[in-house]
Amino acid sequence: MADMHLNPFENAQQQFDLAAEKLQLNSGMRRVLRVPQRELSVNFPVKMDNGDIEVFTGYRVQHNVSRGPAKGGIRYHPAVDLDEVRALAMWMTWKCALVNIPYGGAKGGIIVDPGRLTMPELERMTRRFATEISILVGAEKDIPAPDVGTNGQIMAWFMDTISMHRGYTVPAVITGKPVEVGGSLGRVEATGRGVSIVAREAARHLGMKLEGATVVVQGFGNVGSVTADLLHKMGCRIIAVSDVSGGYYNRRGLDIPAMIEYVKKNRSLAGYKADGIETVSNADLLELECDILAPCALENQITEANADRINCKLIVEGANGPTTPQADDILFEKGIFVVPDILANAGGVTVSYFEWVQGLQEFFWTEEEINNKLERIMQHSFEAVLHQTLTHKVSMRMGGYMVAVARVAEATQIRGIYP
């Protein structure tokens, strides 16, 4: 699926450089914001069920904390490396600034295929990793969350581990937890809900009717499946989805609720069958003719190699970094409207912010209140980016970066350089 030869951190820096040039940031500010503030690499042992000891490598990177505590997910995936985590941390900085919540950007990860571990092994690895990076995390300084390969249960283990160290329960140390241990209603669906909200707003701007609009969704994990489900409920026709097992295509439309139920029982779409379905590769899926394309998998999916064959009117980036800077130029020339990741998938961190606030206050909102708050923030953020885009006649990504980078640069400048 992804082009693993492309360095995501170099892509993130290139995107920043382009925005910094547009904003005419001075050279000193560019040097500050172009690199992470803090990086921690850890190698730690875990006892496996058979008694063997395995050593895992993990990372926690904080890009910038000028606007508040660091915020960002923890990823469990075999392809995790330090440059990927650096890029994801930088994108989190811009994402939090764009939706104007008081966080800086961070990210973490472990090089592991979680599907190859038993639940006890997964728990022991998580608790040891939480211990290793506990010198950085805290409700007032760095708040992790779920990402690719992690879930609410893993967040609960993480929170419990930190709480055991402190000697009291610290619900606000992490977000994306189950509701039963201080999680927020609406958090699981938040990222996909945000993607569907900005897809609706972008379609409205483009004069595209959602009723009957054809949609392709790459990735059918938490983000992709919720995105597909909500767009389906808005009247869209979801014609193709994919996961690690491949792509599933039916021009007449897929039964998204049935596919979601299948994944709940079987953990992936592997073996899914229904009348009229054709199987396609993940690469071919991206090039299917459609109205809306939602890449919701990993970074580096749309590159210089395939951008000219993308055949849609609107791209809404549910994943982080799915489009390279070179591909962006091609898509812009083709007239494809791209809602960038730092806006499109910001619903997750927005509701994580709500969860953090609720955890600090020990006061909780209803799911309707959460969804209404999310709706307002995503709509307002889309309008701010669109205004910048139309004013400067740039892409939506550049418009989003100009809003976000300006806010972070202003906060950094106002705080000053210590000492």
Determine whether 107 is an active site residue: yes
Question: Whose structure tokens read 């054809």?
Answer: 214
355-363, long-range: CB < 8 A, 24+ apart: 355/175, 355/176, 355/177, 355/182, 355/183, 355/184, 355/187, 356/139, 356/143, 356/172, 356/175, 358/182, 358/184, 359/139, 359/171, 359/172, 359/175, 359/182, 360/139, 360/172, 362/171
Contact 286, 310 (CB under 8 A): yes
User: And the tokens for 163?
Assistant: 């709480």
CA distance 243 to 225: 10
For 208, list phi and psi in degrees, rounded to 5.
Answer: -100, 130
Q: Cα dist. 378→192, 281, 349, 369 in Å?
A: 12, 32, 11, 14
Identify the sign of the CA torsion 305, 306, 308, 314: negative
Catalytic residue among 107, 209, 265, 373: 107
Show Cβ contacts of residue 116 under 8 Å, excluding neighbours closer than 6 positions.
none
CB-based contacts of 403: which residues, under 8 Å, 6+ apart? 97, 98, 384, 385, 388
Give dist(CA 340, CA 261) in Å, integer. 29
- Annotated catalytic residues are 107
